[in-house]
Amino acid sequence: DIQMTQSPSSVSASVGDRVTITCRASQDISTWLAWYQQKPGKAPKNLIFAASSLQSGVPSRFSGSGSGTEFTLTITSLQPEDFATYYCQQAKSLPLTFGGGTKVEIK
């Protein structure tokens, strides 16, 4: 199985801050990576697919980059509604696997 490791596991930030979350794959997954946002009590929501493609309706302050084994999700100018937990997920090979999550908390 491909292991996905996210860092940090949590981050405290203020409204307006830039936040970067890293996801590392245990082997090359090219750009077969997606990012999700999950708020308490809700299902995850896709933000980014194919490592850097922004899902329709997702604000442009969200961006994804990377290929191979290292990927980043960046939120520029953090907004109150962005406080949530973020997960990466690889789609290179089965079984599909998720990172452990990064909780973005209010500072």
Binding-site ranges for another protein (CB under 8 A): 31-32, 34, 36, 42-46, 49-50, 53, 87, 89, 91, 94-101
Q: How far is CA 31 from CA 2, 17, 68, 70, in A?
A: 14, 27, 7, 10
Query: What is the CA 14 to chain-centroid distance, rounded?
Result: 18
Q: Which is nearer to another protein, 20 or 31 (CB)?
A: 31
Question: Minimal distance in Å, beta carbon 45 to another protein?
Answer: 7
Q: Which is nearer to another protein, 16 or 95 (CB)?
A: 95
Question: Minimal distance in Å, beta carbon 75 to another protein?
Answer: 19
